[in-house]
Structure 1
Amino acid sequence: MFYTLGRIEPGGLINVTTKKPLDIPYYSLEQQFGSYDSYRTQWDATGAITDDKSLLYRFTGSYQNNESFRDFIFTDRVLVNPSLTWRPTDRTDITLSVEHSDQDYQADVGVPAIGTRPAAIPISRSLDDPNSPIDNSTHTLVSTEMNHHFNDAWAIHNRFLAGFTDTYSAFITRSPTVNGPGEDGLGPDGILRRNIFGQTTDGESYATNLDLTGKFRLGFSNHDVLVGFDYYHAMNTYVTSGEYILPNPALDIDIFNPAPSYGIDPALIQSTLSRNMAYSFFKTDWYGAYFQDHITLWDKLHILGGGRYDWSTTGRGRGASSGAAEAVLPSNKDEGFSPRVGILYQPWTQLGIYGNWTTSFSANNAPAANGATFDPQTGEQFEAGVKTQLFDDRLIATLAYYHLTKDNILVNDQRTPDPFDKIANKQRSQGIELDVTGQITDRLSLIGSYAYTDAKVIEDHVGSTAGNRMPNVPDHSGSLFVKYDMNGYEAQEGFSFGVGGVAAGQRQTDFDNTSQLPGFIRVDAFAAYRMKVGPTRVTTQFNIRNLLDKTYYESSDPNANAARPYLAIAPGAPLTAVGSIRIEF
């Protein structure tokens, strides 16, 4: 419930914690291998460079190469992440980190729906083409973090992050016409209309923040305070080419007998990708100032109060070249205040009752088809729940109810051929979530969750989707995994094994609710053995995903790789096995 006041959306966020240098030596090497010629090597090395441990290093990375259960799909990826930490004094540390990844891959746009369900074709069947150009994505992150503790209560923190992205992808895309014959892109005879579309993104972003944190006592209350300021700057050039909507009859493919259509002439691919080139330039400048106070009374009552004020300037220019797009860049200025409060009462150590109210502000930087801009996205969430820690913290459970509303959420305008044209709607998500983690005995543990989610479009400012369910969100979903450690969970050696399942109910493929993904239950299992060879720890593990080899579908296209989401449904992988061996010393 308690968090810092960065640009956080109601509903939470995923907290990614990077590995930092340690002052004790540690080394690990892991090799994974699995189905569909999957191989992954990852390593980690850290320790002190100087005898006084004032200079530390860490070098992590991985290399992955795999094919797929889907025809023509593959990934070849390398990631390296070196970092250095300098501790000039006991109260000051500065860390420099670089992360670089380079990936060649073949994008997958899945299978289409026929009627209200995914087409009854083999989930391995691709409706792409073996001659489709190879996609590439390169990302580089350079970050610094500085922490200085004035004393045991007060400290200052600064973080800086620079990101550089260069991506290219080309699709043999599904191409429904707009307000014309074959608008759904797939005829009743199983003929899928296609064309060739390419996109390139070249972007850079910079973010920094400066925080002051402190603890003090005032009367009978303890205070944990934060004040800070952050800044974000981003520039992106986005280039599209080819045809996104208009189909080419020469590229029609029979989804029930695609082989005769495989092998598109590379000259046709290149000539199509050289047409209709359009440039967009996006720019964002965003400042925020925030404060927060976590007040503790009588060691049982916790009260959180705070807020942030945002100032944003955004713009998107379009033109026949990058320079022309940048030259016509408009300037849209927005600002807003986002308060948030929370309360947690612990009458006993084992029980906590909490509630919170949060709001959010987010600038929109995409145009409507007529060039108009959108008001900022705003959100509001109410949440209340109960937390328990029973049996000496061996069983931890949380039961929560939430009600979340967001307005001016931008979604694709499916009436136009431009994949970046947007419309705005208002969405509501409410429901109940239950999470349980338990060490039932010294050997048996479990982790489980259940969610009831009522997610709907409340208002559609230009369309007719109000009242429809949001895509890819089931009413009911959950998971349960059980693990057994033969020598106890604290043992450094011995066998472990486990089994569990993930379940999700029916989901809609798009905002129009034109088709549905059936519900599914997927069963997974694993077995592992840990042993020590002198000072070296060795862990071998074998995982099976989709143990019962069931056919299921994970989601419809969330990334606008196809002009209609229901034409790009991602099948779940069949029975997949992955083995690994990890050495640590």
Structure 2
Amino acid sequence: MTTRKIQQKIFYPTSLVLAVIMSDACLAAEVLTKKRSPTKKTEAVLKNSDIVELKAVTVAGKAAQEPGDPYDKSYSSTNSTAATKTDTPLIETPVSVQVVPRVVMDDQKSVTVKDALENISGVRPQPTLGNDVGFLIRGFRQPKFFRNGLVANGTNANFPSFFDTANIERLEVLKGPASILFGRIEPGGLINLTTKKPRDIAYYSLEQQFGSYDFYRTQWDATGPVTKNGKVLYRFNGSNLNSNSFRDFIFKDRVMADASLTWRATDATDFTVEVEGIDQDYQADYGIPVVGTRPAAIPVSRSFGDPNDPVDHASKVNLNTELTHRFNESWIFHNRFLMQRTNSAETFINPAPAFGKALNEITGEMQRNIFFQSQDTESYATNLDLTGKFQFGLTRHEILVGYDYLRSFTKYHTQGFYDKANSPALDINIYNPGPSYGIDPALFTSTLLNTEPLDTGSNFSVFKDQWHGVYFQDHIVLWDKWHVLGGGRYDWTETGTAYRESFAVADNALSHSSPSIIRKNEGFSPRVGLLYQPLNWLSVYGNWTTSFGASNGISSTGATFAPQIGEQFEAGFKTEWFDKRLFATIAYYHLTKENLLTPDLSTPDLNDSVAIGKQRSQGLELDVSGQLTEEVSMIGNYAYTDAQIITDTRKLNGHLNGYEGNRLPNVPKHSGSLWLKYDIKRYVPLRGVSFGVGAYAVGQREGDNENSFQLPGYVRLDAFTAYHWKVGGMKWTAQLNVRNLLDKTYYESTDPNLNLSPRLSVYPGSPLFVMGSIRLEY
């Protein structure tokens, strides 16, 4: 509840005051608000009335918050554009959609997207080389991110990707296949980042953070009108990060700046342009190896890189636009466009062979060599959407028709050796690594003049992807209780990869390609959902949907693979409590995926793939977020995930079904979290104090497809406290956050066979981490 005083004096005619007293309030209100023209009788009354002065009035009630209001401290979210590309409330949407609002990220001090996504059921990190890429959703890896509804990291999304949360307004996760509206995507779900938009009310903030392991981060935000009439609005936000790590030799320095302008050309048309730039220096990290069936019993701080390893670098530029035109209250046209350029260059001392037995688990001796990889990606994405609302007979309709297009072009180059050890020169003992540290810088230079002795000219690669699709959707409402969501999409895709002795030769091979280089696929993806809302606060729903993915690899013989297909059945219910302040979803799903590709480790070429048949994930998920009381907020989740390989078409050691029945790697059967925050408002002496605690639990996970080792389960405790106060028109916040309060040792994930074997790359979680911050808003 928010209480505001109206200080100005209000003057009303005496006769109108009497009219209110005599139950003629409606007539008086309509006259005063000019919603009704005064009659001759009323005009006479107004003309001859005396004037009385009313005292100041105190009005108590809930203050309405606009979307994206920086002062909105509510954990609840009732809408999401990711699910339907419309403004349909979540409780009327027959799919599972979860949202992490900005206030949660601020309370938890989520510096990475990974930290924020811990609040959503069934989502687990699975990065490569410690980068911000790769998540498991409902058991299936999803390397892609979407930014304001468009692909944010190209089609070859396994290359290094990096984000900063300073310009993120909220995170949305759509569970299950999302191909109907977003095209080629993995069936587990979709992660959409919604960035901050310009506002018509001036707002400024500056925050300084500091913490363990020489962590320093500054973030800022400024927005408001450019012109007096509010036709042009701006926003400028960003961050500057300098941080070491609990891991030896690992660090990250990053600068992000985001600027946007909104032009309200007319009352019906507005246009927004946004430019984001990120520049990052860092060291790639491949974690620690496995000994036996568990991560090696060594300090989680121990790294097997080198202090003389050259610094890695990555940069990214996003340019996106959004045009909205409202023909009337019912029909709206949207156009979005996103151009992205990313590049990265990484040199690291990796175990060699990277996908073999580089470690002698008895002696602890690990063979290594020096490897370099770089990538440059340019991608363009756009869509056109038309939404409309109308009534037909006894039914209400909200329809969507659209078209989207994506083109992505990537150059990938390698030097050095990932499969051939430089032994004994670069050997290191994982139990006593000190004597091997300090590699001669000249060795990096000389090694990178050579390449892995594979097929001639395979170290220059070009990837080209192009796909476009048309889609439609109709949300039908019957008798205000039944909601039918139906639609479909047709895709046309082209995917090409060439490995040659130079980029020019590889690009020429794609331009004059054979069918084995350029793979073309097309397919239809339907979605049907049904929701029944017997009460305003309760919905019961179910859906059936499919996903379509173009073949995205080639075999050792150059043969193509059939497209990846996903299918899901889902049922559940949604509830809203406490005047829509608390929202909950319970969902059961059964999800399958066919023709999954994985690196073919039986050949020397890292780029060869093999299909491993069919996988299945099924389980139960619970998500709750919002306000329990005026002072207590919460966000929590639980997931039971049963994810297995149910068909394996490969031959291992001459026998079929080598992995059949194995659990999918890095997927716990049980996981969940609960974060509670208490804002003291009623006890005046402590008003302005906030504090909270969070628990994050993850069960045991298999480390690889072979199920040859396991990552132990863990429970992590976090906590925070903050104090808010005002000085003049400025709001100050001092905050202290503690992550891993009990300093537990735990392991988050393994590499998904992209840069190293999972047995050589287990990523440990951070020990006790303390962060302090001071924030100014006005």
Question: Smaller-chain TM-score range?
Answer: over 0.9
| 1:368–1:489 Cα change, 3 Å | farther
Candidates 545, 549, 552, aligned match of 1:358: 545
The one-letter amino acid of 1:185's match is: L
For 1:488 and 1:58, the matched residues in 2 are separated by 35
Note the alpha carbon deviations across 1:155-185, whole angstroms, 9 max, x for none. Answer: 111111111011111221112387xxx7353
Instruction: Determine which of 629, 643, 663 is the counterpart of 1:455.
Output: 643
Within 2, Cα distance between the matches of 1:218 and 1:191? 74
1:61 matched to 2:260? The reply is no
Report whether the alignment pairs 1:446 with 2:634. yes
Q: Give, in whole Å, the separation in 1 of the partners of 2:322 and 2:568.
A: 31
* Aligned equivalent of 1:403, options 548, 573, 590: 590
SS in structure 2 at match of 1:120: coil
The aligned counterpart of 2:574 is 387
Q: Which of 271, 274, 283 is residue 106 of structure 1 equivalent to?
A: 283
Residue 427 of structure 1 corresponds to which residue in structure 2? 615
Q: What residue identity is the alignment partner of 2:733?
A: T
Match of 1:92 in 2: 269
Alignment match of 1:524 (pick from 674, 696, 718): 718
- Which of 12, 19, 32 does residue 209 from structure 2 map onto? 32
Does 1:196 pair with 2:370? yes
**TM-aligned CA deviation for residue 488 of structure 1:** 5.8
- Once the two structures are superposed, what CA deviation does each residue of 1:202-222 show, in whole Å capped at 9, x if it has no partner? 110011111111000001111
Shift of 1:242: 1.1
The alignment partner of 2:420 has SS state of coil
Structure 1 distance, partners of 2:345, 2:703, is 26
More strand by share: 1
Unaligned runs of 5+ in 1: none
Q: 1:257 aligns with which of 423, 432, 447?
A: 432
**2:668 corresponds to 1:474:** yes
1:6 and 2:176 aligned: no
Per-residue deviation, 1:440? 3.2
Say whether the 8 Å CA contact 1:282–1:365 is kept in structure 2.
Answer: no
- Secondary structure at the aligned position of 2:189 is classed as coil
Look up the match of 1:268: 443
Provide the residue aligned with 1:212 in structure 2: 386
Equivalent residue runs for 1:144-183 within 5 Å: 144-176=321-353, 183=357
CA deviation string 1:521-559 (max 9, x = no partner): 001000011111121111111100000001111111136
C-alpha contact 1:364 1:374 (8 A) present in aligned 2: yes
| Distance change >3 Å, CA 492–CA 67, structure 1 → 2 | same
For 2:726, give the aligned amino acid: K
Residue from 518, 536, 554 that aligns with 1:331: 518
CA contact (8 A) 1:492 1:530 kept: no
Which has the greater radius of gyration?
A: 2
Q: 1:73-112 CA deviation, whole Å, 9 max, x = no partner?
A: 0001000111111111010011111111000000111110
Verify the 8 A CA contact 1:40 1:64 in the aligned structure 2. yes
Pick which of 429-438 and 546-555 moved more: 429-438
Change (3 A) 1:489 1:242: farther
Matches within 5 A, 1:511-550: 511-550=705-744
For 1:220-259, what aligned pairs fall within 5 Å after superposition? 220-249=394-423, 250-259=425-434
Cα distance change of structure 1 residues 189 and 46 upon mapping to structure 2, 3 Å threshold: same
Measured in 2, the distance between the counterparts of 1:490 and 1:168 equals 55
Quick one: which of 412, 419, 428 aligns to 2:599?
412
Between the aligned partners of 2:196 and 2:283, the Cα distance in structure 1 is: 30
- Which amino acid counterpart does residue 69 of structure 1 have in structure 2? F
Give the Cα–Cα distance (whole angstroms) in 2 for the partners of residues 142 and 197 of structure 1: 32
Residue 313 of structure 1 deviates from its aligned partner by: 1.1
After TM superposition, the structure 1 stretch with the greater mean CA deviation from structure 2, 440-449 or 306-315, is 440-449
* Aligned-partner Cα distance in 2 for 1:427–1:137: 34
Distance 1:490 1:165, change over 3 A: farther
In the alignment, which residue of structure 2 is the partner of 1:120? 297
Task: Kindly provide the CA deviation profile for residues 130-162 of structure 1, in whole angstroms up to 9, marking residues without a partner as x.
Answer: 111211111111111111111111111111111
Shift, 1:517, TM fit: 0.5
Closer, same or farther: CA 112–380 of 1 in aligned 2, 3 Å? same
Which residue matches 2:700? 506
Structure 1 contact 318–326 (Cα < 8 Å) conserved = no
Q: Once the two structures are aligned, what percentage of the paired residues are identical?
A: 59
> How many residues end up aligned between the 2 structures?
581
Residue 520 of structure 2 aligns to which amino acid in structure 1? K
Residue in structure 2 matching 1:290, options 471, 480, 488: 471
Aligned to 1:15, the other structure's residue is in SS state strand
Amino acid at match of 2:465: T
Whole-angstrom distance in 2 between the partners of 1:298 and 1:117? 57
SS at match of 1:17: strand
Quote the offset at 1:418 in angstroms. Answer: 3.2
2:203 and 2:581 mapped to 1: Cα distance? 29
1:140 aligns with 2:317: yes
For residues 12-57 of structure 1, give each alpha carbon's deviation from its aligned partner in whole angstroms, at most 9, with x where no partner exists.
3122111111111111111110000000111111111111111111
DSSP-derived class of the 1:132 partner: coil
Deviation, 1:346, is 0.5
Cα deviation digits, residues 406-443 of structure 1 (max 9, x gap): 11222222233433322223221110011223533333
**Does 511-520 or 2-11 show the bigger shift?**
2-11
Question: 1:506 Cα shift?
Answer: 0.6
Q: Aligned residue for 2:25?
A: none
| Matching residue of 1:302 | 483
Equivalents in 1 of 2:742, 2:730: separation in Å?
A: 36
Find the aligned partners of 1:491 and 1:516 in 2 and give their Cα distance: 51
- Tell me which amino acid in the other structure corresponds to 2:330: A
Give matches, 1:361-372, under 5 Å. 361-372=548-559
Q: Which amino acid aligns with 2:294?
A: R
* Structure with a larger share of its residues in helix: 2
CA distance, structure 2, for counterparts of residue 566 and residue 126 of structure 1: 15
TM-score by length of 2: 0.73
Letter of the structure 2 residue corresponding to residue 63 of structure 1: N
Q: Please list every run of 5 or more consecutive structure 2 residues that lacks an aligned counterpart in the other structure.
A: 1-81, 86-180, 453-458, 511-516, 652-657
Comparing 486-495 and 133-142, the one that deviates more: 486-495
Shift of 1:365: 2.7
- Which aligned pairs between 1:314-329 and structure 2 lie closer than 5 A? 314-329=495-510
* Paired residues of 2:720 and 2:737 also in contact (CA < 8 A): yes
Q: Residue 242 of structure 1 aligns to which amino acid in structure 2?
A: G
The aligned counterpart of 1:436 is: 624
Counterparts of 1:480 and 1:340, CA distance in 2: 32
Instruction: Report the TM-score, using the length of structure 1 for normalisation.
Output: 0.96
Match of 1:83 in 2: 260
C-alpha offsets along residues 340-374 of structure 1, whole Å, 9 cap, x if unaligned? 01011010112110001111111133222222222
